[in-house]
Amino acid sequence: MVTCIIPARYQSSRFEGKPLADICGKPMIQHVYEGALKAESVSYVAVATDDERIFEKVKSFGGNVIMTSVSHKSGTDRVAEAVSGLDLHDSDIVVNVQGDQPLFVPSQIDEVAGPLLDDPAANFCTLIYKIKKEEEIYHPNAVKVVFDKNNFAIYFSRATIPCDRDGKGDIPYYKHHGIYAYRKSFLMTFTELKEGYLERIEALEQLRALEHGYKIKVVETLHDSVEVDTPEELERVKRIITDGGTTS
């Protein structure tokens, strides 16, 4: 069984209330929710929030929504609380889709859940995307990832990795795409782990798993996405939708 939980909070230092921001007649959170429903592998979708305004808005368009604590430091913690109240087996798969990715492609949920559906021993998977825009190679908000020959992550960084020491200029770079799939049992374990040293430096919670010795499978997706962190990015999303285009 694959359950998709969309964490969404109202408070944001750069864009307060962004889950409720209007995008072509619908709040952003509704675009994400309806996209998740279209994934072939998903049996259940719900928004997890700590805000009554978001809760009521999701209810108003007929969505499932779970109220969670205001004290969570990350979306992963919010997802974990939400699924703890659902009737899920430890082996069931939980997909975390951020509530600020209204342009994500539904098949990406199937892509990230695939390794866990295929391999009962797999516990944690995420998507990566081959960078096409040169500025993203150097931008700290585009998190780079390097991985081994079996597609397990070696490291994630806001820095440019790998380093092109000799300036060859033909190095493929990959960025992390923030859609995760976890086995429920691993999700609960992950949220109990202590914050890692590298996680704290880079402000990347996926490093916590690597620092504690867990493996993260990475799957390359052909679809890019726009995370809406500012009003300017919201306007960009509106233009993309109006023009009928994609970010790929």
Give the H/E segment covering residue 49: strand 42-49
User: Torsion angle, CA of 205/211/213/215, rounded to 10 degrees?
Assistant: 40
Task: At 193, list the tokens.
Answer: 């782990």
Query: Given this model, what pLDDT does residue 31 score?
Result: 94
pTM confidence score: 0.92
pLDDT tens-digit map of 12-65: 766 778 899 899 899 999 999 999 999 999 999 999 999 999 999 999 999 999
Query: Given this model, what pLDDT does residue 245 score?
Result: 58
Residues 77 and 49: their CA atoms lie apart, in Å, by 11
Residues 22 and 14: their CA atoms lie apart, in Å, by 17
Query: Given this model, what pLDDT does residue 199 score?
Result: 95
SS3 222: coil
Catalogue all structural domains in the chain, each as residue range(s) with its CATH number.
Answer: 2-243 (3.90.550.10)
Residues 68 and 128: their CA atoms lie apart, in Å, by 29
Give the H/E segment covering residue 187: helix 184-192
Rounded to an integer, the average pLDDT of 138-156 is: 96
How would residue 248 be classed by pLDDT, with cut points 50, 70 and 90? very low
Higher pLDDT among residues 113 and 73, named by residue: 113
Quote the percentage of the chain above a pLDDT of 90: 77
pLDDT tens-digit map of 52-99: 999 999 999 999 999 998 888 888 999 999 999 999 999 999 999 998
Residues 135 and 206: their CA atoms lie apart, in Å, by 23
